[in-house]
Every structure is written in structure tokens, then in C-alpha cells.
């Protein structure tokens, strides 16, 4: 009887949850649907009030104009290449850093870590000009090196990795050490496989961050050949006018690879988000 009562009270709660989630899903999806829809509209149709959800006469001209006006193939290649390279490189660097700062004992270890944390507090804009000067003296301006190398370090990722590795029991590596495993083998074969969730978290946010990065690629590149997608999208807005349909066509195009990545790596992405929000450990 009591169970039946419990089940009955759970039904409205479930309905409420489904209702709230549906509202959330619609409010999240609606702007995206409107963006895609507006990318098929004439500019004056976008300005209609009340706004139309679907174009009265869908047209592909915005996509044709968008594609013809800039080297999008090159922009997409640059963005994918830079984002993937940075993700791989960054995971390698921060996992080794996290290992050193959590599992190895050397003088000044904690001071080094505190220095990293202190640097985390610096706003990015402070290091913009010094960073640019360093890259310029290395002759890296307008090259892939400028887009990739400065992004390989990620203090937030390093911090996450160190904290996660600290939570792993020491007995794991002791057993391997008795079996004669080297430090690198312990790191590579024992500790790293256990860190998959945190690696996924960092990979997720790094990939998204690189895909959406704007200011740094703008500052360190000069030629169109080295530009990335976000900079290309901004080209449809000038000082006084914005070509919304064409800009939205470019934004739609730029979102497609992200959607593909999402479906391919859904499991890892969700796990990553859970970890970063402290939901699962």
C-alpha cells in the first residue's frame, strides 16, 4: 500500500521533470533552429516581426555567397588541424605534468604548483603583447606554430589532472615498481589509463575552446591562409553593417563539425562534463 502511494506521488514528479527538461531542450534548441532557418532567408525576412520560424522561400544563395567570398575549405582545415593537434599535445603535456606534480617527489614541487596556480589568476589580455613579441622573435607569426604551441600548456587542465592523480592509491604503482617497471611505464601503463575520465574532460573543453577561439588566432595570423573559422565568420560584419543571413550560413557551417564530433564522442563528452562539474569521481 505504502509502495503504491509512493509510486503514485512519483508520477507527477516525473511528469514535472519531463516537462521542465522539454522546456529546457526547446529553449536550447530554438536559437539553433532559428539560426539555421535564418541562414536560408533573405535579409529583410529576418527582420520580420513577429519573427518567422521558417523561411517563406528558402534560398541557398546565402551559402553560395558565403562559400565564394572566403576560402572556407582552408579555414575548416586550419581549425580542425589546430584543434586536434592542440588536444593531443595538451593531453600529453598536462598528463605528464600532473604525474610529476602528484606522484613524484622532488624539492620545490609544491612551490612550482603554487606558481602555476598563481599564473591562473592572470587575465589573458596581460600576456597578449609579451606572447606576441616572443612569437615574433621566433618568427612564428602567421604560422601553425603560433596557433598550436602557446596552447599546449593548460594550467586548469594540469590542476585537474594533478588532483585526480592524487586520489589514486599509491599501492597501484608500488606493485608495478616491485615488478621492475620504469617511471614512464608506471605513468603510461598504470596511471594514465585510470585517468581517462579527466583526460576526456580536458579534451572536451580544449577542443571546444580551440574551435571557438577568436582573439589569439586573429592576433597571431595575418594572411587569409592561416585564419580559422571564427575569424572568417566575423568577416561578414563590418563597422556599420552586418550581413546576417550570410553570417548565419557561415555559423551553421561551422557548427556541423562540432555536431559530428559530439555524436562520435558522446560518451566521453558526457563523462567529461560530469567530472568537471564534480558529479562523478
Binding-site ranges for other proteins (CB under 8 A): 42-44, 47-49, 51, 69-70, 128-129, 132-133, 136, 141, 214-215, 218-219, 222-224, 231, 234-241, 243, 246
Q: How far is the CB of 29 from other proteins (least distance, A)?
A: 22
Fill in the DSSP letter of residue 131.
Answer: H
| Sign of the alpha-carbon dihedral angle for 85, 88, 91, 94 | negative
Burial zone of 220 (CB within 10 Å; 0-12 exposed, 13-18 middle, 19+ buried)? buried
CB of 156 to other proteins, least distance (A): 23
**Contact by Cβ (8 Å): 71, 253:** no
Look up residue 70 and give its three cell numbers.
572566403
Distance CA 184, CA 177 (A): 11
Provide the minimum distance between the beta carbon of 223 and other proteins in the complex, in angstroms, as a whole number. 7
What are the start-end ranges of the H helices in 39-71?
43-46, 61-69
Is the Cβ of residue 51 or residue 58 nearer to other proteins in the bound state?
A: 51
Q: Distance between CA 168 and CA 8 in Å, rounded?
A: 43
The helix or strand, by DSSP H or E, that contains position 266, with its residue range, turns out to be: helix 266-276
Measured from the CB atom, is 75 or 99 closer to other proteins?
75
- The whole-angstrom separation of Cα 139 and Cα 132 is 10
Q: How far is the CB of 9 from other proteins (least distance, A)?
A: 42
Taking the least distance from each CB to other proteins, the nearer of 36 and 234 is 234
Identity of the residue, 111 or 241, whose beta carbon is nearer to other proteins in the bound complex:
241
Q: Nearer Cβ to other proteins, position 30 or 129? A: 129
Closest approach of Cβ 227 to other proteins, in Å?
9
Amino acid at each position: 500500500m505504502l509502495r503504491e502511494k509512493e509510486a503514485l506521488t512519483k508520477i507527477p514528479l516525473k511528469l514535472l521533470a519531463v516537462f521542465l527538461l522539454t522546456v529546457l531542450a526547446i529553449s536550447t534548441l530554438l536559437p539553433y533552429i532559428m539560426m539555421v532557418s535564418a541562414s536560408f532567408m533573405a535579409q529583410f525576412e529576418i527582420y520580420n516581426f513577429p519573427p518567422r520560424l521558417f523561411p517563406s522561400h528558402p534560398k541557398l544563395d546565402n551559402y553560395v555567397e558565403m562559400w565564394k567570398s572566403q576560402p572556407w575549405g582552408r579555414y575548416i582545415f586550419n581549425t580542425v588541424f589546430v584543434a586536434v593537434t592542440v588536444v593531443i599535445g595538451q593531453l600529453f603535456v598536462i598528463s605528464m605534468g600532473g604525474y610529476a606534480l602528484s606522484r613524484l617527489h622532488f624539492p620545490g614541487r609544491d612551490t612550482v604548483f603554487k606558481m602555476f596556480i598563481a599564473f591562473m589568476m592572470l587575465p589573458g589580455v596581460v600576456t597578449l603583447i609579451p606572447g606576441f613579441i616572443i612569437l615574433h622573435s621566433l618568427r612564428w607569426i602567421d604560422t601553425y606554430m603560433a596557433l598550436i604551441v602557446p596552447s599546449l600548456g593548460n594550467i586548469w587542465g594540469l590542476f585537474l589532472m594533478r588532483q585526480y592523480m592524487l586520489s589514486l592509491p599509491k599501492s597501484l604503482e608500488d606493485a608495478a615498481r616491485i615488478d621492475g617497471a620504469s617511471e614512464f611505464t608506471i605513468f603510461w601503463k598504470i596511471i594514465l589509463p585510470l585517468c581517462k575520465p579527466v583526460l576526456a574532460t580536458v579534451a572536451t573543453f580544449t577542443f571546444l575552446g580551440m574551435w571557438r577561439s577568436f582573439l589569439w588566432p586573429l592576433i597571431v595570423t595575418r594572411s587569409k591562409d592561416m585564419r580559422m573559422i571564427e575569424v572568417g565568420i566575423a568577416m561578414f560584419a563590418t563597422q556599420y553593417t552586418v550581413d546576417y543571413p550570410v553570417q548565419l550560413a557561415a555559423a551553421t557551417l561551422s557548427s556541423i563539425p562540432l555536431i559530428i564530433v559530439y555524436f562520435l564522442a558522446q560518451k566521453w563528452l558526457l563523462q567529461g562534463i560530469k567530472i568537471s562539474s564534480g558529479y562523478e569521481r
